[in-house]
Amino acid sequence: MNDTWTIQAALEWTVGYLERKGDENPRLSSQWLLSEATGLSRIELYAHFDKPLSMEEREVLRKYVARRGAGEPLQYITGEVGFRHISVKVEPGVLIPRPETEVLVSEGLAVLPAPPKRIAADALASDDLPAGAVERSEAAADGTAGGAASTVEEDLLVAPDGKENGAARKAGSIGLDGTPELLVADLCTGTGCIACSIAYEHPETRVIATDIAPEAVALARKNAELLGLADRIEVIECSLGESVAAELIGSFDLVISNPPYIPTAVLADIPKEVSDFEPSLALDGGADGLDLFKPLVAWSVRALKPGAYMAVELHETCLDEAAAIARQAGFIAAKVVEDLAGRPRILVARKPFDEDEERR
């Protein structure tokens, strides 16, 4: 107990321990755990190799390493995960965001009208701007906000003033620059990573996010608040869209979802790190992986405006059947998009215009 633990010694010991426990990337895990225990960035760890750990830091690190050695996901231990251009809090009981879902957000943003390049610059001086709006504007201005916002160079993107109640505003409401706002539904929101990314990257969106799990609803609200986006994101506890206000049905510009989609038989083969720690409610998609997708499609075709899109993440074995279900429900232009590993993962489909609108 009286031995001096330097950062280098602690790192090497942790790597060896996690390697013996079967961690797939023990060095990366060790860096993250030591970073969390000491408050240093991963780069700073290497710049302070000779720095001794305090007894408090050693005790925190021991607890983290024991949890990781037992197979607990790293994200639950650190309590945070990077997702696209934001970081979101993660907690046990709520599904950890995956890189595949970043692709889903890209596809959702791609089918929305592009955000305006400039919203009145004097808005930056407004006392009514929500916390974080200026920082998001500066990030968009230098290109770090990415996605839809990354095309903005010197122009500034800022959030609306937030005086009204986020997504509860009726369809057709007007944004800060006088353009109509876009209404997005994020069903099965989990951490809120999709809703927060869309609101962060596209300043003219308002998002209604839903989840059936109270733990997820509370966490999604927390993430929206921490990111300064609570004025444009409303989180509702319900199954799919069943509690969305009736007056909003038919006015959505996008329905996006990462529902439970793993076929039940496949769940037996997923890594224990997932099956033992992440909620089965957020994973199990039923026998064909499409138990939630079917009612989701039925709701989406009613909720969307004519010409608007649905984008859904699904299991790689389900995409062809899902596209057929979407077409039967009335969607057209169904497109399957591959994930970062080249597997079919995302279904994007459009609600057709009605005949009168087509003639106009």
- Ligand-binding annotation for 269, yes or no, is no
User: For residue 149, what pLDDT is reported?
Assistant: 34
Q: How far apart are CA 113 and CA 333, in angstroms?
A: 17
8 Å CB contact between 267 and 283: yes
Residue type, 321: E
Which of 158, 167, 147 is CA-nearest to residue 104?
Answer: 147
pLDDT band at 359 (very low <50, low <70, confident <90, very high): very low
User: Where do the domains of the chain lie, and which CATH numbers do they carry?
Assistant: 7-71 (1.10.8.10), 94-359 (3.40.50.150)
User: For residue 115, what pLDDT is reported?
Assistant: 81
- Ligand-binding annotation for 113, yes or no, is no
User: For residue 281, what pLDDT is reported?
Assistant: 85
Residues 6+ apart with CB under 8 A from 185: 207, 208, 209, 210, 241, 244, 252, 254, 255, 256, 300, 303
What is each CA distance from 278 to 1, 95, 267, 293, 329, in whole angstroms? 35, 6, 12, 20, 32
Q: What would the pLDDT profile of 90-141 be if each residue is shown by its tens digit?
A: 999 999 999 999 999 999 999 999 887 644 333 333 344 333 433 433 333 3
**What's the half-sphere exposure (Cβ side, CA atoms, 13 Å) at 301?**
16
8 Å CB contact between 89 and 226: yes
Give the number of residues written for the chain: 360
Q: How far apart are CA 182 and CA 173, in angstroms?
A: 9
- In the block, which residue shows the tokens 């602690």? 10
Considering only residues 118 and 145, tell me which one the structure prediction assigns the higher pLDDT: 118
- Ligand-binding annotation for 306, yes or no, is no
Q: How far apart are CA 98 and CA 21, in angstroms?
A: 23
8 Å CB contact between 309 and 349: yes
Q: With 50 as the cut, is the pLDDT of residue 240 above it?
A: yes
Phi, psi of 121 (to 5 degrees): -65, -30
Q: What pTM did the predictor assign?
A: 0.79
Which residues sit opposite 309 in a β-bridge? 254, 350
User: For residue 184, what pLDDT is reported?
Assistant: 98
Q: 17: burial class by Cβ within 10 Å (0-12, 13-18, 19+)?
A: middle
Q: How far apart are CA 112 and CA 158, in angstroms?
A: 18
Residue-averaged pLDDT of the chain: 83
Phi, psi of 62 (to 5 degrees): -55, -45
Which of 109, 90, 108, 32 is CA-nearest to residue 65?
Answer: 32
Q: With 70 as the cut, is the pLDDT of residue 179 above it?
A: no
User: For residue 148, what pLDDT is reported?
Assistant: 35
User: What percent of the chain has a predicted confidence (pLDDT) above 70?
Assistant: 80
Q: Which residues of 61-98 are buried (b: 16+ CB within 10 A; e: fewer)?
A: beebbebbbebbbbbbbbeebebbbbebbbeebbbbbb
- Ligand-binding annotation for 271, yes or no, is no
- Ligand-binding annotation for 64, yes or no, is no
